[in-house]
Amino acid sequence: MAEDALVLTDIRKSFNVGSPAEVEILHGIGLTLEPGAFCALIGPSGSGKSTLLNIIGLLDRPSAGRLAIGGQATLGLDDAALTRLRGRSIGFVFQAHHLIPAFTAVENVMMPLLLNRGWADAGMRIAAEALLDRVGMARWRDARIANLSGGQAQRVAIARALIMEPVLVLADEPTGNLDTAAADGVFDMMQAMNREQGMTFLIVTHDPRLAKRCGRVIELVDGQVIGSAS
């Protein structure tokens, strides 16, 4: 049995610690995602979804509590070790694609491999092209991002998030800027990658229609998990 993709134990997060404006945003979150899960994270604006995703993604540290990614506990790891774990284990997809507009699709998808190894080799381009093929973007692999539609760019962003074969893919409103048809296409893509590659997905969405398509829905209200139907 593989390790759980994610285990959160009593995660708390406060901002402005030690000042009069100190405020606790996450109030003791416990959550386990089994390998291969496809989960939605829903909740009202301001409920702490992005704060939680940043903590799970090792972009921010909790004020208290513990987390483990693919069986690797993070407590006590220094910044360099967290950065390595993040690069190896986590793929991110944001609402804005954060691709480099002047670079081509294949160059953007190769970027994490390049940054990880520090040099380019032919295998990287082949791997990136294969992934672009999988997300239906083979025809556009040499197109600059600036010349793609929002839905096309988001598919490239998903390919980039998957190139390191992460244990866990975190998506913060990945279809928030897309029309219904493009959102469905991007969502289909994530579901196919989940089924075929077994990667675990945690997707923040405002769209109840998309949340319904997830195997599990976790609801955050006022910094607490109130429902996690499986």
> Contact positions toward Mg ion, by CB under 5 A?
49-50
By CB under 6 A, is residue 62 in contact with ligand ADP?
Answer: no
Interacting span for ligand ADP (CB under 6 A) from 47-55, 78-86, 92-100, 177-185: 47-55
Interacting span for ligand ADP (CB under 6 A) from 28-36, 42-50, 105-113, 118-126: 42-50
Give the shortest CB-50-to-ligand ADP separation in angstroms.
3
Report helix, strand or coil for 91.
strand
DSSP assignment of 142-196? TSBGGGS-HHHHHHHHHHHHHTT--SEEEEESTTTTS-HHHHHHHHHHHHHHHHH
By CB under 6 A, is residue 174 in contact with ligand ADP?
Answer: no
Contact 41, 52 (CB under 8 A): yes
Say how far apart CA 194 and CA 191 lie, in whole Å: 5
Task: State the binding partner of 45 from ligand ADP, Mg ion, none, CB within 5 to 8 A by kind.
Answer: ligand ADP
Single out the residue of 8, 11, 51, 210 in contact with ligand ADP (rule: CB under 6 A).
51
Tokens (6 digits) for 182 = 């493009």
Report helix, strand or coil for 216.
strand
Task: State the binding partner of 152 from Mg ion, ligand ADP, none, CB within 5 to 8 A by kind.
Answer: none
| Number of chain positions touching ligand ADP (CB under 6 A) | 11
By CB under 6 A, is residue 50 in contact with ligand ADP?
Answer: yes
Amino acid at 102: A
Give the shortest CB-14-to-ligand ADP separation in angstroms.
9
Amino acid at 203: I
By CB under 6 A, is residue 45 in contact with ligand ADP?
Answer: yes
Single out the residue of 10, 15, 66, 226 in contact with ligand ADP (rule: CB under 6 A).
15
By CB under 6 A, is residue 46 in contact with ligand ADP?
Answer: yes
Question: How far is residue 58 from each of residues 81, 92, 106, 138, measured CA to CA in Å?
Answer: 10, 11, 26, 31
